[in-house]
Amino acid sequence: MTDQAHSAEVTYESVEHAAQQVGLIVMGALHPHKTDAKQLDGGTLILLGAGPEFWPALKSAPEWRGRDPVDSWSLRVVGQLAQQMRAEAHFPFGGPPYAPFIDWALKSGRTFSSPVGALVHDTMGMMISFRGALHFLQEFDIPKAEAASPCTTCTAPCTQTCPVGALNDLSFYNVDTCHQHLSTPEGQTCMTGGCLARLACPISAQSGRDPEQSAHHMRAFHPS
């Protein structure tokens, strides 16, 4: 079978199935030439992220005991998917320069800006962790995304939950205030369970995020 023949068989469903087999989920898809996506010309882009099966997959992988296990695992797993499916892999880390994942996510129609400025996803809420993307040269059918942000019908508890107001709907994210709070005894609730403002999102509660995964990301964000 030629590469061209193999490539022609790729569908959204086949990419989604392959991602699920390794512990990832499809978090968005777009046709770059229709959305004016940055740094890409034509084809189809599939955004891959961490769903409920990601954490157990990572913890059972050889990268778990190494340095930067999340990124190391993502490089290997997404890289292998790209090789198997004749796609180009992109990652949200490893820069500068960095791939424009925020632009791609927003243009997929499944990710939006929340009232506190952070991104919110239609099924993962504010528990977003993009692990990579696959860019295919060919253009194939992708599901039509929802047009409206879930925040338009939400009471926005994310704007009122941060105990020090680091995430709010007026000044958005105050990084220094957040870090200062995380260094206090009171901030250990966020460190061990995840950002309270992100957890307050009603969709986040349905994401299946393991609190241990959130604690891992918090330690990476705020090393002791």
Write the pLDDT tens digit of every residue in 27-68.
999 999 999 999 999 999 999 999 999 999 999 999 999 999
What number is the average pLDDT over the span 64-80? 97
Please report, rounded to a whole number, the percentage of residues in the chain having pLDDT higher than 70.
96
**Distance (Å, rounded) from C-alpha 163 to C-alpha 181?**
9
**pLDDT value at position 224?**
78
- pLDDT tens sequence across 95-117: 999 999 999 999 999 999 999 99
pLDDT band for position 147 (cuts 50, 70, 90): confident
Cis peptide before 223 (omega within 30 of 0): no
Contact 154, 169 (CB under 8 A): no
**pLDDT value at position 6?**
46
- Tokens 């034509």 correspond to 42
Cβ neighbour number for residue 85 with a 10 Å cutoff: 19
Helices (H) and strands (E) in the chain, counts: 10, 6
pLDDT band for position 171 (cuts 50, 70, 90): confident
Contact 91, 78 (CB under 8 A): yes
- 7 has pLDDT over 60: no
What number is the average pLDDT over the span 137-145? 96
**pLDDT value at position 3?**
44
**pLDDT value at position 5?**
38
The single-letter DSSP state of residue 208 is: -
Classify residue 166 as left (phi > 0), alpha (psi -120 to 50) or beta: alpha
Task: Of 47, 46, 49, 48, give the one whose Cα is nearest residue 139.
Answer: 46
pTM over 0.85: yes
What number is the average pLDDT over the span 210-218? 95
**Distance (Å, rounded) from C-alpha 138 to C-alpha 44?**
6
**169 vs 77: which has the higher pLDDT:** 77
The single-letter DSSP state of residue 57 is: H
Q: Are strands 111-113 and 88-90 parallel, antiparallel or unpaired?
A: unpaired
**pLDDT value at position 170?**
87
Please report, rounded to a whole number, the percentage of residues in the chain having pLDDT higher than 90.
91
**Distance (Å, rounded) from C-alpha 186 to C-alpha 192?**
11
